[in-house]
Amino acid sequence: MNQQLRLNKFLAERLGVSRREADELIATGKVTIDGQPAVIGNKIDSKSKICYNNKTIPFNIEFIYLAFNKPVGYVCSRHAQGSAPTIYEILPKKYHKLKTVGRLDKDSSGLILLTNDGDFAYQMTHPKFHKEKVYEVELDKPLEPLHQQMISDYGVMLDDGPSKFTVIKSELAKPSSSGRSSRPSSRGSSLSPRSDCGFPSKEVSQARYTVILTEGRNRQIRRTFAALGYKVTKLHRTNFGKYELNGLESGKTTEFKI
């Protein structure tokens, strides 16, 4: 027996939208089933030909989930921006059809997830799911305690609204009892002073911090510190939700299961 599936669920999974947004797409008349305009509530099966904006959406697809340690200098886009190359120039060709789950700016490095599963991308990026992201940040000067408390407890007003996230003095910046830098044990994650974290342990700065946030606004961390008179000199993402770099080298990828 050919299993049936609600059209809005199918569109949500393939396009990375909510089911309500999928219903709105159906209502525009841009979704067709076997050449006929779809209506809200339609069900489909593997024999149905589904099109959106005159492009066929395959019914059966093998989902791929990829972790990538993005180097500094690349943009998370399919098209180069000025002289900055795109990450797809260094990704293996077999992954070129995958889309990024959120982005990191050109000057930032670290964990990027890519997939062809729209529903996974939606659940990882929509604000209502509150996915934590962890960054190791280096500033041009140590953060004043009052400013650290302001960001973590009250937030800083930006042009697009208040910005609030947790700022913790990085363990990399704290000398151990032996006088050497210690490895962080925060949250049980693999945040260690290795090549995957972007901050070599032999050059310990006193202006390094761990930032934890659940929002994903454009250059939010950089803009928040800039509003208080600081410049972010390095920004490296180590964790995204339950996923982490875990020793993945810069420029390398690894597939994972969900």
193 vs 249, higher pLDDT: 249
Catalytic one of 23, 34, 45, 105: 105
79-95 in b/e burial notation, b at 16+ Cβ within 10 A? eeeeeeebbbeebeeeb
Average pLDDT, the chain: 87
pLDDT number for residue 181: 34
Q: Which residues contact 80 (CB under 8 A, 6 or more apart)?
A: 86
**CATH 3.90.245.10 at 65-125+251-255, yes or no:** no
* 105 given a catalytic annotation: yes
Name the percent of the chain lying above pLDDT 70: 86
- Placement of tokens 């959406």 in the chain: 57
pLDDT number for residue 161: 94
CATH number of the structural domain 127-244: 3.30.2350.10
The mean pLDDT of 51-78, rounded to a whole number, is 93
pLDDT in tens, 161-178: 999 999 999 875 554 443
Structure tokens at 95: 């992954």
7 residue type, one letter: L
Widest pairwise Cα distance in the chain: 73
Least trusted range by pLDDT, from 37-46, 112-121, 182-191: 182-191
**CATH 3.10.290.10 at 5-57, yes or no:** yes
Contact 129, 115 (CB under 8 A): no
pLDDT at 205 over 90: no
> Which pTM was predicted?
0.76
C-alpha triplet 215, 221, 223: angle, nearest 5°: 115
pLDDT in tens, 183-193: 333 333 333 33
Query: Where does residue 45 rank: exposed (0-12), middle (13-18), buried (19+ CB within 10 A)?
Result: exposed
Structural domain spans, the chain: 5-57, 65-125+251-255, 127-244
Query: Where does residue 252 rank: exposed (0-12), middle (13-18), buried (19+ CB within 10 A)?
Result: middle
